Amino acid sequence: MRRYLPPAEPLTIIHVDDGLVVVDKPSGLLSVPGRGEDKQDCVISRLQRDFPEAMIAHRLDMSTSGLLVVARGEAMQKAMYKLFRDRAVDKRYLATVAGLVEADAGEIDLPLICDWPNRPRQMVSHELGKPSLTRFRVIERCPAEQLTRVELEPVTGRSHQLRVHLAALGHPILGDELYAGAAAERAPRLLLHAAEIAFVHPQSGKPVKFVSPAPFFPFADAAITL
């Protein structure tokens, strides 16, 4: 297993209010502590230096970059958990995938379950998997490079959902060491970024939306459509 070497640069804080902190997580940094003393450096441990009450509201895979919402205190954590559980949070991701995706838009509806002998890998299982739905939209096809840039909407929030679904579609995300096979070597990191998140703020009752351009995606701002 590759040694955990989190990026040294400080967290980029997108937004702070009395209830929430929104950060732009870099690729390679855990959302929460992992097992072992060498995996304690993460988003939460860094934030708690300035916000001791910070508690995770949802997670991003270590290799995924982008927007992560952190609750300030237990009450806000419970409120955000409820929003995610009720699917009242709109999320958009940007990714670069191998090959040329034929359909301009579509859905990937494949049930997922943990591949226990090979965890943390997940897998498609029509017999035992939990319902999992991803919507996708093509932003740009690049025939010369044999890649496609896509916008992704995870309707459900299963572990590794976007990564497994795109691989099952035959278009794995570049740089994905778990699911992309040879396409993992085509990028120095996983080319998946949490670019937009929107919900009704539990404290104010007003809609909020946060946007983060993908560092590897030239049309990030134009691609996002809520």
Query: Which residues are CB-contacts of 182 (< 8 A; sequence separation ≥ 6)?
Result: none
φ/ψ region of 87 (left if φ > 0, alpha if ψ in -120 to 50, else beta) reads left
Query: Which residues have a catalytic role annotated?
Result: 61
3-state secondary structure of 36: coil
Rounded Cα distance between 100 and 117, Å, is 32
Nearest CA among 194, 186, 201 for reference residue 215: 194
Rounded Cα distance between 71 and 76, Å, is 5
Rounded Cα distance between 158 and 165, Å, is 10
